[in-house]
Structure 1
């Protein structure tokens, strides 16, 4: 009897342990299935896939071969109520990613830089996505991508549009960002509900505050005004922190909410099948090194005017990340409002991860 009692106890412990493990494994399977279905729904909502054109680069396809460099045009869009129905493109970035070297180059285009396309009127850089969107909502992304690709004579594989309300929700879901606010910021606009009130110094910003931080330009409450260059630097700081958060343990645990936000707030012409592959290959695609190339320039109301040499340097850095040589055929002054050539003043801020 004395020997049977411990055996029964061990048996009960084993059964209980197996039961608990079974529940855990079952729970993980259910949660994995839940995330898969949620991801599938989100990807289908995000994708605005267009038929591939002959000769279109197939950047990033994962077929067991070395992954090719990929290029993107990213646009941050704000079309809040109270803005008179306008669609403001507050952020424009050209991104070149080399998955093999795990390096990426980000070129921030000033929203107030004057562009001089041949077929459309000369306007600020932030005008053209809204222009194409108002002409044809379904074709806005491929047409805007083609516009910038032809203007700068660079390959752009895909475009993604992120609505700022989704950006705010994403930052809140990730628990805020630890940001070094570079100056006191105060601005109020009762018409569209803008109320920016930030103090200089490192602090945790929630979604609204982070959005205020990257959008701040002018003040009507006594604080100093900001430049497009400073805004670009803030965007770089926030982008680096977002990538860190999304790949942290907490970020992964919150992917369900993140996928919901992405489905509501992101539109892209990346095909759904390729988006799925990239999620599975995210460890290979995530860059270890980000090279930020902001375009500096002087303010000549209502435009930001960079130098021709600065623009050339920025585009060359972008092309180099894609493994392409510099383009000496592009006459930059013909497509962008620029100052006469002068010594290069582009600064490269490298964010190491």
Structure 2
């Protein structure tokens, strides 16, 4: 039985907030000298993970430039695939992408467009059976970790007929560690939450009401779906709202941090939980020239969705408008010549009379 999705998914705000956290953390390192600056550069080195770098983006042995101005190539339009992965301890090493976003960035016009891809969106690649969107990176990772990002970028680039330059992967267990690092959060839990799963070690036991949560409890708060007996259900949209509440509090906490020890710990956590195939020298230039690279305007693109177990289906008309925006932001024209319906789960709105 189909159930309508809300038009505006909070997941876009979640990823935007997390990106803001990363930017604030690393840029703020400039406030402190010496040790903390080295911590920031160490975090960049970890984020630009060598094991995910394609052969064309191999890292050199020379020192990474730290204050070099952005190049002409840096200012060219770019497309990213942003992913969030729940790979917490006890999860069995799953690499399913719980959050996926297509992002086009135009540094010259200082604009960005973001399209959230539902984790359950039906995708059928050429010559393959249908899978949910969150299947592909995990599948590629199991086959070959070193080519997982490159292969996933190619699959989604071919799918949307939009070449993807880079992929960014965020392990959301880093939030748990970061929350503990700032001393926990005061959260108004919206309902009683009880769920256990011995297979992956999940043990959620939260009571409705305002309370102080540590990192593990906060992660339980944002992950909760339903109780073991199926009662007290919580949709993905509810989870996205909770993630936004947590992220807003985290940003407030981070602005109050001071001193090398506190910032240093957070930078270590970021370095350990964010990975990308962006070359290290490019990533360093972008971060050190953050004001030139960051967009002044951001378009959060909306595609209405409909859930028919086990997949989510996108509205065809909404998707066409979103694709036009993504293309336009990087100087291309989307002519609608690609039949995305052959590979994506789509539906059309009934005609109104």
- Larger relative contact order (Cα-Cα within 8 Å, sequence gap ≥ 6): 2
Q: Which position in structure 1 is the counterpart of 2:39?
A: 38
2:194 and 2:220 map into 1 onto residues whose CA distance is: 10
- SS in structure 1 of the partner of residue 275 of structure 2: strand
The count of aligned residue pairs is 309
1:151 to 159, 169, 179: 159
Residue 293 of structure 1 deviates from its aligned partner by: 3.3
Residue 93 of structure 1 deviates from its aligned partner by: 1.8
2:232 to 224, 232, 244: 224
Question: CA, structure 1 residues 296+80, in 2 after alignment: closer, same or farther (shift >3 Å)?
Answer: same
Contact map agreement 2:30 2:37 (CA 8 A) in 1: no
1:241 and 1:322 map into 2 onto residues whose CA distance is: 34
Q: Which position in structure 2 is the counterpart of 1:11?
A: none
How much is the aligned-residue C-alpha RMSD, in angstroms?
A: 3.7
Residue 135 of structure 1 deviates from its aligned partner by: 1.0
User: Residues 246-280 of structure 1, C-alpha deviation per residue, up to 9 Å, x if partnerless?
Assistant: 6x363896442232112222221010001111221
1:280 to 284, 288, 304: 288
User: Residues 214-236 of structure 1, C-alpha deviation per residue, up to 9 Å, x if partnerless?
Assistant: 43333336753233444455556
- SS in structure 2 of the partner of residue 32 of structure 1: coil
- Between 1:259-268 and 1:208-217, the stretch displaced more is 208-217
- The structure with the larger Rg is 1
2:302 and 2:246 map into 1 onto residues whose CA distance is: 14
Contact map agreement 2:91 2:201 (CA 8 A) in 1: no
Is 1:265 the counterpart of 2:273? The answer is yes
2:46 and 2:212 map into 1 onto residues whose CA distance is: 31
Question: CA, structure 1 residues 178+110, in 2 after alignment: closer, same or farther (shift >3 Å)?
Answer: farther
2:103 to 95, 101, 105: 95
Contact map agreement 1:76 1:91 (CA 8 A) in 2: yes
Question: CA, structure 1 residues 104+82, in 2 after alignment: closer, same or farther (shift >3 Å)?
Answer: same
- SS in structure 2 of the partner of residue 250 of structure 1: coil
1:207 and 1:251 map into 2 onto residues whose CA distance is: 20
Q: Which position in structure 2 is the counterpart of 1:138?
A: 146
Residue 175 of structure 1 deviates from its aligned partner by: 5.3
User: Residues 55-74 of structure 1, C-alpha deviation per residue, up to 9 Å, x if partnerless?
Assistant: xxxxxx92279933432211
- Between 1:149-158 and 1:208-217, the stretch displaced more is 208-217
Contact map agreement 1:307 1:342 (CA 8 A) in 2: no
2:216 and 2:188 map into 1 onto residues whose CA distance is: 16
Residue 81 of structure 1 deviates from its aligned partner by: 4.6
1:286 and 1:205 map into 2 onto residues whose CA distance is: 33
1:69 and 1:180 map into 2 onto residues whose CA distance is: 41
Question: CA, structure 1 residues 52+200, in 2 after alignment: closer, same or farther (shift >3 Å)?
Answer: farther
Contact map agreement 1:77 1:91 (CA 8 A) in 2: yes
Contact map agreement 1:110 1:228 (CA 8 A) in 2: no
Contact map agreement 1:312 1:332 (CA 8 A) in 2: no
Is 1:105 the counterpart of 2:105? The answer is no
Q: Which position in structure 2 is the counterpart of 1:56?
A: none
- SS in structure 2 of the partner of residue 306 of structure 1: strand
Q: Which position in structure 1 is the counterpart of 2:257?
A: 250
TM-score (norm 2): 0.72
**Matches for 1:160-179 after TM superposition, within 5 Å:** 160-174=168-182
- Unaligned residue ranges in structure 2 (runs of 5+): 1-28, 58-68
Q: Which position in structure 2 is the counterpart of 1:188?
A: 196
- Between 1:272-281 and 1:180-189, the stretch displaced more is 180-189
- Unaligned residue ranges in structure 1 (runs of 5+): 1-27, 54-60, 345-353
